[in-house]
Amino acid sequence: MAHCYSLVHLTNINCPPPEFIRTAAAAGYDAVSLRTIPLGLPGERPYDLAHDPQLMRETRRALEETGLSYRDTEIARIADGVDVRDHEPALAAAAEMGVHQITTNIWTADKGRYTEQFVKLCELAKQYDQDINVEFVTWASVADLKQAKELLLSSGMDNVGILVDTLHFYRSRVDLSELDDCPKEWFHYAHLCDCPREIPAEVEELARFARTGRLCPGEGAAPIREIVTRIPNPDIVYGLEVPHQARLEELGFEAYARQVLTAAKACMGEAD
């Protein structure tokens, strides 16, 4: 079965959404995942559709011209000093663009607070017919599948999901069997990428590699096909999140995006 392949914004986070969409279309993708919720980080280039009407119009035009779908947006993060109610304009803007899947991850160690904030975020999203998908990140406060499952169950909300990123799945040492008792309804999309066998112990190296050095699916040690085929929902979108700064600079964005897609389809047994 052929799947929907989406190009995830972190693959080239410095590319504005309209250009990103057109490049994804030229490289053969079916969809895009955009980062339209600013994180407020130093040096960040925000693509705030909620507060930039011109960018919203240009992004919509690129989608109409290419026929690509805009499947999910990120990151409605839960963190110390962040009130999730401030994410509502971004959720509303995404809904206006037809987006039903929102990614979050957790960056506060206070379990009671992050659970409360997650429930509030889900309640906000419910107004826009959106699901909130927890991406567990190896060096975050919710760092593995067990913690993500516990959060979803304790929330009592039904518009929830888990985003499996194969890099974090491997580096958080999650066992494949942990997917077996998860409801199919929790899974809407996954991020496919690869890494070397050795798992760094330093947070700085984990973060550096995740942001600038990921490998194409099939190049490393992560059991990508085994992970993805074990996910209870066989119809998930395959999001390709493979930032690699050196390759991007060497090949150019379109050629690199095409290389990533070709590798992913080969890895998943869907080669053209």
* DSSP assignment string, 97-116: TT--EEEE-EE-S-HHHHHH
CA dihedral 76, 79, 83, 85 (to 10 degrees): 20
Q: What is the pLDDT of residue 44?
A: 73
| Helices and strands (H and E) in the chain: how many | 10, 10
pLDDT at res. 58: 98
The pLDDT of residue 46 is: 83
> Which pLDDT belongs to residue 39?
83
Q: Contact, 197 vs 144, CB < 8 A?
A: no
pLDDT of residue 54: 97
- Does 75 sit behind a cis peptide bond, omega within 30 degrees of 0 on the bond before it? yes
pTM reported for the whole predicted model: 0.96
- Distance spanning both ends of the chain, measured CA to CA: 12
- Give the three-state DSSP class for 219: coil
Q: Kindly state the DSSP code that residue 35 receives in the 8-state scheme.
A: E
The length of the chain in residues reads 272
User: 42: buried, middle or exposed (CB in 10 Å: 19+, 13-18, 0-12)?
Assistant: exposed
Mark 153-179 as b/e (b = at least 16 C-beta within 10 Å).
Answer: eebebebbbbbbbbbbbbbbebeeeeb
For residues 168 and 199, the answer to whether their CB atoms sit within 8 Å is no
State the pLDDT at residue 1. Answer: 60
| Residue boundaries of the structural domains of the chain | 5-267
Structure tokens at 79: 């963190």
Helix ranges (DSSP H) in the chain: 17-27, 53-66, 88-96, 111-126, 145-155, 166-171, 203-212, 224-230, 245-251, 253-267
CATH of domain 5-267: 3.20.20.150
DSSP lists the bridge partners of residue 164 as 190
User: Other C-beta atoms within 10 Å of 250: how many?
Assistant: 10
Tens-digit pLDDT string for the chain (272 aa): 678 999 999 999 999 999 999 999 999 999 999 999 988 776 778 899 999 999 999 999 999 999 999 999 999 999 999 999 999 999 999 999 999 999 999 999 999 999 999 999 999 999 999 999 999 999 999 999 999 999 999 999 999 999 999 999 999 999 999 999 999 999 999 999 999 999 999 999 999 999 999 999 999 999 999 999 999 999 999 999 999 999 999 999 999 999 999 999 999 999 76
Q: What are the structure tokens assigned to 41, written together? A: 């980080």
